[in-house]
Amino acid sequence: MGSTDGYTVGFQHSPQIKTLKLFDESPYNSKTENPGSRANLEDQCEQVSLASKCESGISGIDNGQDTHMFKNGLIRVHEEDKMYGIIKNKSVSSLSSCGLHTEVEAIHKKDYSGVMCQAKLQSFCTYARAMEQNFRGGANMKYAWYGASKNELNNILLHGFGHSMNIGVYGGGICLSPADYPIGSFQSSVADEDGLRHLLVCHVLLGRTEIVQPNSGQSNPSSEKFDSGVDNLACPKKYVVWSTRVNTHILPEYIVSFRSSSGLEGYQRISHPLRRPSSNFIPFPALIKALSKFLPPDAVKTMAKHYGDHKVCIYTLLV
């Protein structure tokens, strides 16, 4: 077997590890699924093989790292990349259906080429293989969203999951939301100083799931028969990964940065005061440009038009 960025990956191909299509969230009981219900979505999705990831590691989109939004370990995904379009279209359309109008500002991919990152990747793959061989029914690997502040996401990417702010009513577990339900994690996201919100796209090993009741105080599987929790077996909107497993059963892959124009009522969590001019005076064109980050496009256009009309009136009076 070859090496990845100079590091040998000492795991052989495992035929038991199944192929997962990005954002293909099939019901738990595949026998009840309508074969044509997700055909259009599946046609857009790129097949992702966990076995191939474990053999070659997760490499970047290009060789240049973009650390302008986040710390080291991320590579910017370019707009022409296939994965950019898949993630953008799915997330924006899903949020729009919930009344949130958002634009994707950037997508970054986690780089797993370093020694420690390779160790984390191989740990995840080892657990996936073990769960595939388990009599309980396999790894049940899914894509999921995780929302938090930019600072918390930075810490996760650098050090792994620690104490989460989104545990909430589900006690000793971290909550993620299914790929088709990003709004669940958007509610946990926090606007940064630039007005951007960030969601983490992860691989999650759910294994066999059980219903976890809110405020139950549960912090571990109720028995050895189960691996993780959900709020609903038939149509889950929350995945609960217990705190003892968050760094072995969750593999961060992408960070998606959103700018929201409207529909944010009830979601206005801000981690830091928004950046404001240090001077008491600011040129009007600069003010319009700054406000364009937070106001709907129509409002910015109207403001610019009024400013232009005002300049014409002043010029007319002067001449």
pTM (2 d.p.): 0.68
- The type of residue at 23 is F
**266-285 burial by CB neighbour count: b if 16+ within 10 A, else e?**
ebeeeeeeeeeeeeeeeeee
pLDDT of residue 231: 93
Is 230 in contact with 207 (CB distance < 8 Å)? no
pLDDT of residue 71: 62
Q: What is the separation of C-alpha 259 from the centre of its chain, rounded to a whole number of angstroms?
A: 14
- Ranges of the chain whose pLDDT falls below 70: 1-72, 135, 163-169, 171, 262-282, 309-319
The CATH number of 3-262 is: 3.90.228.10
pLDDT of residue 145: 97
Percent of the chain with pLDDT over 70: 64
Torsion angles phi and psi, residue 241, rounded to 5: -105, 125
- The type of residue at 250 is I
- The type of residue at 97 is S
- The type of residue at 25 is E
pLDDT of residue 37: 35
Domain boundaries, the chain: 3-262, 284-318
Average pLDDT along the chain: 75
SS3 content of the chain, % helix, strand, coil (to 5): 35, 25, 45
pLDDT tens for each residue of 104-129: 999 999 999 889 999 999 999 999 99
pLDDT of residue 108: 95
pLDDT of residue 187: 87
